[in-house]
Amino acid sequence: MGTARIPVLGVGFDNLTMDEAAETALRLIANRSRAYVVTPNPEIVWLCRKDPALASAVADAALVLPDGVGIVYAAKILGRPLRRRLPGIDFAQEILNRLAKSGGSVYLLGAKPGVAELAAQKLAENFPGLRVAGIHDGYFTDETPVIAAINAGKPDFLFVCLGSPKQELWMQRNAKSLDTGLLAGLGGSLDVFAGTVKRAPETWRKLGLEWLHRLFQEPRRLGRMLKLPLFLVMAVYERIRGE
């Protein structure tokens, strides 16, 4: 990126607007860079503090974008504010919009069987001009044929929706073996694009309450969501310590 990343509890984030992130991504795609993008939320940052392999995979990314509102709050608490939150799904939509205008392509990897197929149909409807270079669900043990299928499609943009930390480790391990422009770890985005999971209304998203809407949809996530207050408390603690 050419500029220092903003450290938030041990993970460095690129301090960009959506347009800047998209322009950087398109340059990487045009250069067939085989680089990858990660979009950590507080839960992933928390995991990075305990998992050196995940921390390494995140640090090696060409772009590290702040997905969760908790990242933005923590950066502000630490006195190192980020310009804005850049949710992975919004970033993906922006890239797809731009690729559609130039006849670019995307490969969809991840989610349960059938989800990627449905997402491909929806993307074809919503992004006229975009080509779907291929699809593969996230339920595989041998990655060799998966890599071969991706390389056969030669996509400009590769969705990697395997969940964390699997998707970040997978991208770090395989990026240079793939014939693609750019990879992005996008968690559950395929379910949203497929319509099997409903995203929060725009008003909720603007208020930074998308996490709460998701909790209403998936109450089993309560234990994971409770880490957010602890995450912010840790940010306050590090600010007091002057770290």
Q: Within a domain: residue 121?
A: yes
Q: Within a domain: residue 61?
A: yes
Q: Mind listing the pLDDT tens digit for each residue in 121-146?
A: 999 999 999 999 999 999 999 999 99
Q: Rounded to whole angstroms, how far apart are CA atoms 25 and 31?
A: 10
Confidence of residue 230 (pLDDT cuts 50, 70, 90): confident
Find out whether 134 and 179 touch, Cβ atoms under 8 Å: no
Q: Within a domain: residue 142?
A: yes
- pTM for the full predicted model: 0.89
Q: Within a domain: residue 95?
A: yes
- Tell me the residue range of the domain where 86 lies: 6-241
Is 202's pLDDT higher than 90?
no
CA distances from 149 to 137, 145, 155, 193, 216 (A): 12, 6, 10, 22, 37
- Per-residue pLDDT, 212: 55
Q: Mind listing the pLDDT tens digit for each residue in 60-114?
A: 999 999 998 899 999 999 999 999 999 999 999 999 999 999 999 999 999 999 9
Mean pLDDT along residues 10-29: 98
- Per-residue pLDDT, 233: 85
Handedness of CA 155, 108, 35, 88 (dihedral sign): positive
Number of domains observed in the structure of the chain: 1
Q: Within a domain: residue 1?
A: no
